[in-house]
Amino acid sequence: MTGRTPRSGEPGGASSRRARKRPSSAALPDLGQYGRLAEYDRKRHFGVTPEPAAKMGTREPGRPLEFVVQKHRAGHLHYDFRLEHRGLMLSWAIPKGPSPDPVVKRLAMEVEPHPLDYNQFEGVIPEGEYGGGTVMIWDKGVWAPATKNGLGDEGEADRQLAKGDLKFVLLGEKLAGSWVLVRTRRERQWLLIKHRDQYASEDDLTITRPLSAVSGRTMAEIARAAGASPRQLEQAAQADPPARHVSADTARRKAPPRGGR
Ligand code: MN
């Protein structure tokens, strides 16, 4: 691995030992000038990383809530699942990525909230920085909390998050339909599960739809364009599926939109 000293807040860092003493229901700390983005801010050096600074977002009334899934080859490959809520992006790291198959439960580790501006970030975090490696915008779209009778508001999302049982709908390019995030008894561990509906499928979308939702690029192409180190470039290339899947996703992208004129 990298051989560098773990920073505060990373697995193995000093704060993870302290964090174990916190009760499992503890909310993220809400301290400092950056509020709930303080942890995001503290982990990063903005003179070095191209990631956006900690800044709360604003939302015009009626604008739908954003979601994004970022494929991230850091120390390990994972998919960062982010839901806009009250001016920031609530975030979970999913080692195996989301599955549209209702029988598959995917572990989702709650991580620090990210700024809304992060939804546009696709590139490379330099070696030695927190989360160093290649980031792809794998999917993006809009989301809403779900109730028995339809869609809920932010207050509904607050109540369901507090219960550890957030039901929601996604409308993205790869992920869609009804889903749930369920908190487990373990600190910060949730499960992401697809509900049965017309968008459920047994496809492994991480293999069949491997390209960026915004640029159509592979991980290797993103790494190369951002001037990644040789080691990061090799790791990014290893995170891409075999070429035949890439060409199938490329062909889909170039096909004319269905239902168009
Ligand atoms: Mn990540």
Do residues 57 and 88 touch, judged by C-beta distance below 8 A?
yes
Q: Quote the domain boundaries for residue 41.
A: 26-244
Compute the distance from residue 124 Cα to the ligand 1 centre, in Å.
12
Residue 69 falls within a domain, yes or no? yes
Residue 124 falls within a domain, yes or no? yes
Compute the distance from residue 259 Cα to the ligand 1 centre, in Å.
36
Residue 4 falls within a domain, yes or no? no
Residue 160 falls within a domain, yes or no? yes
pLDDT digits (tens, 9 = 90+) for 151-183: 999 999 999 999 999 999 999 999 999 999 999
Residue 233 falls within a domain, yes or no? yes
Residue written as tokens 């373990």?
186
Cα–Cα distance, 45 to 233 (Å, whole number) = 22
Residue 3 falls within a domain, yes or no? no
Residue 11 falls within a domain, yes or no? no
Compute the distance from residue 187 Cα to the ligand 1 centre, in Å.
18
Residue 120 falls within a domain, yes or no? yes
Compute the distance from residue 257 Cα to the ligand 1 centre, in Å.
32
Compute the distance from residue 132 Cα to the ligand 1 centre, in Å.
9
Number of domains in the chain: 1
H-type alpha helices, the chain:
14-19, 38-42, 154-163, 205-208, 219-225, 230-239, 243-254
CB atoms within 5 A of ion ligand 1 belong to 72, 80
Task: Tell me the mean pLDDT in the region 19-30.
Answer: 48
Compute the distance from residue 174 Cα to the ligand 1 centre, in Å.
19
Task: Tell me the mean pLDDT in the region 104-118.
Answer: 97
Size (the chain), residues: 261
Compute the distance from residue 258 Cα to the ligand 1 centre, in Å.
33
pLDDT band for 255, please (50, 70, 90 cuts): low
Compute the distance from residue 79 Cα to the ligand 1 centre, in Å.
7
Percentage of residues in the chain having pLDDT higher than 70? 84
